[in-house]
Amino acid sequence: MDTRKLVCTVCPNSCGITVELNEKAEAVRVLGNKCPRGEAFARQEITCPVRVITSTALLRCEDGREALLPVRSSEAFALSKHARAMELLRHVTVRSPVRMGDIIIRNLLDTGVDLIASCDS
């Protein structure tokens, strides 16, 4: 039986978690979590890790200046799609004004997750 060691990021406890895997690399047992959320995190991390993406997009201001606009995903999505999302974001230009929470890209890479502005511009 194989094992994987993880650090839970769900709450401030940062539990050191050990996941025992069967021959199909499926989580059989989770040890070290101090709450049920830690077990759910470990099982998710083994099967399909997810993260919130944070980055910047090019912002074109009304006066012709350019700046960077902080953006983030509205929720976590599969880590395997992050590289493609970042490549897509390299080519995105947003026109000001922008308000925090405005959707910059709707349904990013068919994940059901939106890319939103993190501040006003």
| pLDDT reported for residue 73 | 98
Question: Residue 65 has what pLDDT?
Answer: 85
Number of domains comprising the chain = 2
pLDDT at 29: 94
Cα–Cα distances (Å) from 68 to 9, 24, 75, 96, in that order, read: 28, 44, 21, 11
Average pLDDT over residues 48-59: 94
Work out the average pLDDT over 20-34: 92
Residue 20 and residue 38 share a domain: yes
14 plus 59 within the same structural domain: no
Q: Length of the chain, please?
A: 121
CA distances to 6, 24, 40, 55, 65 from 90, rounded to whole Å, are 31, 37, 33, 10, 18
> In this structure, what CATH number is given to the domain that contains residue 99?
3.10.530.10
pLDDT tens figures, 17-26: 999 999 988 8
**Predicted local distance difference test score (pLDDT) of residue 106:** 97
Confidence grade of residue 63 (pLDDT, cut at 50, 70, 90): confident
The residues pairing with 51 across neighbouring beta strands, listed in sequence order, are 77
Q: 8 and 38: one domain?
A: yes
Q: What is the pTM of this model?
A: 0.81
pLDDT, tens digit (0-9, with 9 covering 90-100), for 67-103: 999 999 999 999 999 999 999 999 999 998 999 999 9
Tell me: do 65 and 103 sit in the same domain: yes
pLDDT score for 113: 98
